Amino acid sequence: MTEPANHAAPSERTRVRRIPTNAHYDTATLHAIIDDAYLCHIAFADEKGAHCIPTACWREGNHLYIHGSNGSRMLKRLTESETCVTITHLDGLVMARSAFNHSMNYRSAMIYGRFEVVADEAERRSTMAAFMEKLVPGRQAEIRPGSDKEFAATTVMRIALGEAACKVRSGPPEDDEEDMNWPVWAGVLPFERVAMKPVVDPQCTQPAPAYVVSWQKW
Amino acid sequence: MTEPANHAAPSERTRVRRIPTNAHYDTATLHAIIDDAYLCHIAFADEKGAHCIPTACWREGNHLYIHGSNGSRMLKRLTESETCVTITHLDGLVMARSAFNHSMNYRSAMIYGRFEVVADEAERRSTMAAFMEKLVPGRQAEIRPGSDKEFAATTVMRIALGEAACKVRSGPPEDDEEDMNWPVWAGVLPFERVAMKPVVDPQCTQPAPAYVVSWQKW
């Protein structure tokens, strides 16, 4: 079912306590969970309490990147305090024989630390290009590039992936021995994020490139 | 594209500042976003900083419910401080003509407040049944019900939906007039969460009920 934890937690606050056998602390698992995501949820606290904000993200090397307007409240707060970034993929509903052994299959990653502003102009531009390349490989060369004014109005931030923990559940339900003969179907109802038919902008007069034509999964 | 905000924000901390035309403060939008979700992300802060934890959720009336083991660190913390619960559905990648007008279509809900423990035993049992009914309508009657011991080991909590804000983006990209003739395809690459083929537990000898047979969307 689940592989054993393959490394120790990098810190006390990343040590998984609930079902620690589902914990993963290796880089490959962490990178795979991030790279399969288009957005993350970021928790931070200010004088109004805790906030949980969804935002687009991407990875380069051992950092997770986000961006936003210079005026963003969240971006300002993120350099001032520790934060927790979480990504969760729901992979299925786990149907057990007993009510309390029902579960969900998922892959989640939590990253702790502090964001830093990417100040170097060349690095800002190159990582924004990497973001576009993640969204749609090949599109960067076709679009109207960002202007100096647009780049100047945008803040790019990153957080190191050194203090992170992943938790993964996969596979069938796990019922107690005495429930195994309960007369009910047991198994997993899987979910997938599926690419649907592209919707052309009504004002678009350009032909669809290969990546648009091939977008629809079925 | 986007409807105008239909009500005022219920509080200062739920007032959407970034692209306020995408804000929705009405109950119907909030309920629809919650009811389409199986999990939420909960932000709270303790002496170690901010945390962002994914957990299963469901709605009854004007409350969002979660549950967990009595020993859960998060559940203990949640009665002690204000929290923010966020649900986000990613509906598509928005391909504009200019780099900086690229966006994502999404539906998100943020709920502020404080969780309370559901102490009444009848209410605990009835809302856990509602949770199962949400996961798989009809299954509650087939499974081995929760025992007194299992219920005693479980904490059920809820948060009122009175202080919440939704943000929704839908529709095509919005480019500036001077970019409209840039020679690139523009439109939306949609995503959907799709129900895939059920995976029977290898140890299951029971036939699949109608809701399992009908699970696979295509």
Q: Does residue A218 form part of some domain? A: no
Q: What is the pLDDT of residues B75-85, one digit of tens each?
A: 999 988 899 99
**Close Cβ partners of A62 (under 8 Å, ≥ 6 residues apart):** A27, A160, A161, A162
Q: What is the pLDDT of residues A79-126, one digit of tens each?
A: 888 999 999 999 999 999 999 999 999 999 999 999 999 999 999 999
Q: What is the pLDDT of residues B117-127, one digit of tens each?
A: 999 999 999 99
Write out chain A residues lying below 8 Å of B208, CB-based: 185
Q: What is the pLDDT of residues A173-196, one digit of tens each?
A: 999 999 999 999 999 999 999 999
pLDDT for the residue B6? 56
Whether A196 contacts chain B with CB within 8 A? yes
Q: How confident is the model at residue B144 (pLDDT cuts 50, 70, 90)?
A: very high
pLDDT for the residue A49? 87
Question: In chain B, pLDDT over 70 holds for what percent of residues?
Answer: 97
Contact of A165 with A9, CB cutoff 8 Å: yes
The CATH number of whichever domain residue B95 belongs to comes to 2.30.110.10
Q: Does residue A176 form part of some domain? A: yes
Which of B54, B49, B84, B68 shows the shortest CA–CA distance to A11? B49
Q: Which residue of A104, A108, A185 is in closest CB contact with B204?
A: A185
Q: How many CB pairs under 8 A join A and B?
A: 280
| Domains in chain B, number | 1
**Beta-sheet strands, E only, within A37-163:** 39-46, 49-56, 58-60, 63-69, 83-95, 103-113, 116-117, 154-160
Q: Å from B29 to nearest chain A CA?
A: 18
Q: Does residue A52 form part of some domain? A: yes
Q: What is the pLDDT of residues B158-213, one digit of tens each?
A: 999 999 999 999 999 999 999 999 999 999 999 999 999 999 999 999 999 999 99
> Which ipTM was obtained for this model?
0.94
Q: Does residue A3 form part of some domain? A: no
> Following CA atoms A163, B68, A187, A25 in sequence, which dihedral angle do they give, to the nearest 10 degrees?
10
Q: Does residue A200 form part of some domain? A: no
Q: What is the pLDDT of residues B36-53, one digit of tens each?
A: 999 999 999 988 889 999
Q: Residue A154 pairs with which residues in a beta bridge?
A: A69
Whether A61 contacts chain B with CB within 8 A? no
Name the residue range of residue B41's domain: 12-192
